[in-house]
Structure 1
């Protein structure tokens, strides 16, 4: 109707004809043509903008994507790596628990304050107990102070030997399952094929 109306100026009528063939019409141009049509035809006879758009759909421009700064991208990458590493550690924690404990025992490292305090108290109590037992045994053997002190020192040495043996037993208990898993691990297919070829030769 707008493209064929005689009240429109010639250039606007030509523009309306061109816009009619397009699938999308800019809102600003449609509004300008409609207002010019109303001014030319009169306020009572002109079409309203919503009447011109009847049966059409509004096509909104997609919002522009905000570009992330390089610092933010690096920070997000680090956070994602930390999350992935934490997820991986949680997934394999049951598998590597014994290996990590054995490595800590071999290195002699106590990872937490609780472990350090517990180990220290255990050593002090054991050495004090064995010293007292040795001192009492020395008192029963001889009333001399030197003999009682020597027996107490023997108790201290025996306590240190017991601690060493317990530590070795604990370490071997953790290393045993790891060695068995390594022995039970099957060879890769390439290694098996090489071994079969050697047997065939």
Structure 2
């Protein structure tokens, strides 16, 4: 293992104590140790924390008769935990966050200008008065259709009550159909005029 790999060996990191410092200094001068391990031992003796694997590699490189007990070397040392680097945000996540921020800004802007934005008062049934007027108008048409149908069938079928009632119902249905047809025409005209107005506004801007 090279010097660089030994100094940056992954795994357990421990604090340098007096016993570890003395062991590393003596190992750097040991004649039975390889030159590479001597350099590693000398470099690590200057550090405040050392990898456990490096200490063990140096210890294994010594002659069994000259190396001390591992428990004696690590006596009083403490583990050092290194916090991992925070993970960077991916580009996809950044784009999503930007879109969410834009949506939040648009919603906030709409909330701010909601009270001052002019409302389209030309919408059909935009007020309670319009809705009430339309309801009364439909009821009047239906009643008129019923009465006309009732009177017509009563005259045609010699005052037959069943046929007169059927004629009234038929007139009521016809009145509903006529009112529905007129409502569709009014709605279409309003949508067409609104689209023309919006297109003119865009052109003027």
The interval holding the TM-score normalised by the smaller chain is: 0.3 to 0.5
Structure number with bigger Rg: 2
Report which structure shows greater RCO (CA 8 Å, sep ≥6): 2
Q: TM-score, normalised by structure 1?
A: 0.41
TM-score normalised per structure 2: 0.41
